[in-house]
Structure 1
Amino acid sequence: MSLELKVPPVVVFLIALALLYAGHVALPFASISPAFQGTVAFVVALIGCAFGGQAVVAFIKAKTTVHPMKPEEASTLVTTGFFKVSRNPMYFGLLCLLLAAGIYWGTLTLVAVGPLFIWYMTEFQIKPEEERLKEVFGEDYLAYLEKVRRWI
């Protein structure tokens, strides 16, 4: 059984967040505490909220589905706002929140968990979504794929 589109992105995010926290607690020697980490974490979290929030609002305004497990139900190809710089601003927003948490906790496990999150989301969520969106939007989506990067 393939894992594609089986685990909701928010669940993947929460698992990655739990791994970061576990690393923070279980591996205190793998943590750093620069004086500015709270400020940096806050700024990165704001960027994540801006990307994710604007993307959700754009989907709602376009009256298309935000359900990540059913991309074939999309009725409109949204290419405005942050969708001009990222094909996946909601997932980029989750990544930023993950980075913010890792920075805030100062855990170096972020070096492993961050790339793992990107890989998993790309392989098991984004690529399957892209295949379905190609079927739904055809040439318009193919043109969009050529203009805008997958993450940022």
Structure 2
Amino acid sequence: MEKKVPPLLLFVIFAGLIWLTASWPAPWPLWFSQLLAVLLMLDGTIFCGWAFWQFRRANTTVDPRYPERTAKLVTGGLFEFSRNPMYLGFLLLLLALCFWLHSLSGFLWLPLFVLWLHYWQIVPEERALAKTFGDDWLHYCQQTRRWL
């Protein structure tokens, strides 16, 4: 299962699952949910867009299924704070969807999304990056958290 499902497709699948299972109403006011949803959506979009732009600017691959094709280790910008800002952006967007739908049931999918990404995407990616970049990668990992 390692690196077989593109993270963008995984995001779409989990967004669909959240949408389809939105049934338990949240106990807080709808206006509060929608306000949080908009803020989280903006943050998630910024994280994904900025990370994508940084990869493009560094002339390296954006496709995480092939980390061995990575031409340059990107460590600046958002990558100073998170080794996976694009995945963090996807998580924020899914969280935004949960709030927008004002449903508690959607939140149940979020840990599964994170676990899937961790075990079948991030860990294999990090193994490949360690092979490619050696000590530079290890130093980066010591300085920067995986998520936040």
Name the TM-score class by shorter chain.
Answer: over 0.9
Is 2:52 the counterpart of 1:31? no
- Let me know the Cα RMSD of the aligned residues: 1.0
Q: Does 1:144 align with 2:137?
A: no
1:148 is displaced (CA, Å) by 0.7
Q: How many residues align?
A: 146
| C-alpha displacement of 1:106 | 1.1
User: Secondary structure, in 3 states, of the residue corresponding to 1:59?
Assistant: helix
Q: Which residue of structure 2 lines up, in the alignment, with residue 14 of structure 1?
A: 12
Instruction: Compute the displacement of 1:110 (Å).
Output: 2.8
- List alignment gaps of at least 5 residues for structure 2: none
CA contact (8 A) 2:85 2:147 kept: yes
Task: Please tell me whether residue 89 in structure 1 is matched to residue 91 in structure 2.
Answer: no
Residue 110, structure 1, aligned to residue 81, structure 2: no
Given the two structures, how large is their TM-score scaled by the length of structure 2? 0.95
1:81 Cα deviation after fit? 0.6
Question: 2:3 is aligned with what amino acid?
Answer: L
CA distance in 2, matches of 1:87, 1:43: 22
Distance (whole Å) between structure 1 residues aligned to residue 13 and residue 63 of structure 2? 19
User: For 1:10 and 1:64, how far apart are their aligned partners in 2?
Assistant: 18
TM-score (norm 1): 0.93
Q: Which runs of 4+ in 1 moved over 2 A?
A: none
Rounded Cα–Cα distance in structure 1 between residues aligned with 2:142 and 2:48: 22
1:100 match: 96
